[in-house]
Structure 1
């Protein structure tokens, strides 16, 4: 079986690693350089998308922001999964919001802005404070604003107007500010026959809009809510593959914040924490294989490595600590890899995180240090 992945980053890399035991060969199409590369070595293996499509049994994607002309060619082949509509929903917040509404899934009140007049209508409809996000592009905290007081409106509008003018078909989506208790996400898979398998919820901590730390949690009431909402969205999209929903936990009631139509950063813990990782289950789903078990087999926390390209030897020597590098050139704030920390119990994981914090710099790993500080205060 040969799978062509649109995108040549770390998610394609991890799909390749997960696919090898199943005899699934992965090629990656770099949409920026317009070349086909090996997802692990990054060596160029071709520069003809049409040939790569012909050679592939299945085509999938590792990110949402795929040029529409490339998406159209892949869709025409009849090999693309999950679907172009799902990818568009993940890449355009206007489509995403409509899809959530169509699926009957709760999400924050919103209003789409293209003009200054729309901005003031949004203020009336959504209220202040509000969160504003670019409809196209923007991720890891980029392309976002917060309107906390009305006297900020003109300053923020100037920045948003510049954003709208810079990209064709751009707009801003205004959302009500949700006073959530925490952010959680659910990663799951759906097969073409409608079979759904979801992983345990993960509680997520962000730093400057970038995911820093994810921990698999057990909360049966929230899990059931999340699974129902996941199933509704996946069925509405006719989805095949792994899908992630990001939620706000509002005192035990979930609101969907975002859809991610792909394997997801908050699901990296499944590589060590679950019987079948998210990367393998994505490949199983799109290659028409039975889904693997999503059962939690050990308590796990994932820590993102941002802007760092090495770790102390003491970290590498710790039992239950698994490091995953992405083979990237170091750049400030860049996702360079992640660390999965495993234990027999939540207490065991907390102890290991405390040990890790002694070796990892607070400026580079603020979420880890804050987690350890809170844990020690609550103990």
Structure 2
């Protein structure tokens, strides 16, 4: 099978690594000449809205997927006329727009923060009266890793906030006093079978995911699975989907979904029976889904901007390095490690040792 991937970053790279053992070949469409996934397949260097390049891709492959939601939904819709594309265009349209996303959650009775659509400074001021402060103003599209948002703590923060985020359509969300952040990685096949990975505890630094730890029989696992099932079935979704939640006193509140393989699921490469990447490919290819249980206690640490010495990292037993072969730049995800241990105490010790290397 030949798989087309819109986007040639590290997620595409890891999809190809997982698919090679299944006998799959890959074609990546990405405007960047140095797309890191291109070493693992053919590279169509073109913009995501280049219809001629999209038609070329469709002729070469059996199925298409995408590695991030900045891809226009129109691109997926266009491709769907020529080749099967999973997840579908409607899933992408909703997931890339926070207003559509939160509206979907509300319609499915999934708890969310209070929210309001904001398309002007006046609308923002009215929304603040309704929702109150503190609150978070976010662009409806294209915001990720802490970008495209501003925390509004007092009235002075509200002044000119709409213009500060570019004067584009936004959403105001009530601030959630949460005790933790978790995500659930799920996969749904063409036959509507659904598998769930264990809930993952996430720690962010400066808006970017720093550490993910697969949990031990989280008491809210079943609650999260019920919410995610509603979304998967409503969207007739095929592939891996990540759902991020806030942990609150009464349970979980929805933050956002990502219609793709996800950073918080990287631990599954070494830590689960079947990685999220292999299960995504199984789903879109119509193959049986793999088991999602974790082998060991597992965690993932992101490297932002630079990667510590490989020699020092690999001297830590049970540490698996994933270098994306990307140029080091401040704020850029350039690699990660997964850590697999027999006990949670050992896992904590190993992750702290890696964090010490990162601080030098």
Normalising by structure 1, report the TM-score.
Answer: 0.89
CA distance 1:108–1:25, change in 2 (3 Å): same
Unaligned runs of 5+ in 1: 165-169, 363-379
Separation in 2 of the partners of 1:9 and 1:345?
Answer: 33
CA distance in 2, matches of 1:192, 1:44: 27
- 2:324 alignment counterpart: 326
Residue 263 of structure 1 is matched in structure 2 by 261
C-alpha distance in 1, partners of 2:325/2:296?
A: 27
Q: For 1:358 and 1:293, how far apart are their aligned partners in 2?
A: 34
- 1:302–1:338: 8 Å Cα contact kept in structure 2? yes
In structure 2, the partner of 1:5 is 5
Identify which of 228, 232, 241 aligns with 2:230.
232
Where do 1:1-379 residues align within 5 Å? 1-30=1-30, 32-33=31-32, 39-41=38-40, 44=43, 48-160=53-165, 163-164=166-167, 170-251=168-249, 253-361=251-359
CA contact under 8 A between 1:248 and 1:256: conserved in structure 2?
A: yes
Worse overlay, 50-59 or 322-331? 50-59
Could you tell me how far apart the structure 1 residues matched to 2:90 and 2:26 are?
A: 23
Which secondary structure does the structure 1 equivalent of 2:142 belong to?
coil
Cα gap change, 1:343/1:66 in structure 2, threshold over 3 Å: closer, same or farther? same
Contact 1:28 1:37 in 2 (8 A): no
Rounded Cα–Cα distance in structure 1 between residues aligned with 2:64 and 2:140: 25
Give the conservation status (yes or no) of the 8 Å contact 1:185–1:247: yes
The answer on whether the counterparts of 2:44 and 2:57 sit within 8 Å (CA) in structure 1 is no
Aligned to 2:158, what secondary structure does the other structure show? helix
Q: How many residues align?
A: 354
Contact 1:270 1:278 in 2 (8 A): yes
Could you tell me whether the CA contact under 8 Å between 2:13 and 2:40 is conserved in 1? no
Shift of 1:127: 1.2
TM-score by length of 2: 0.93
Cα separation, partners in 2 of 1:348 and 1:174, compared to 1, 3 Å: same
| Structure 2 residue runs without a partner (length 5+) | 47-52
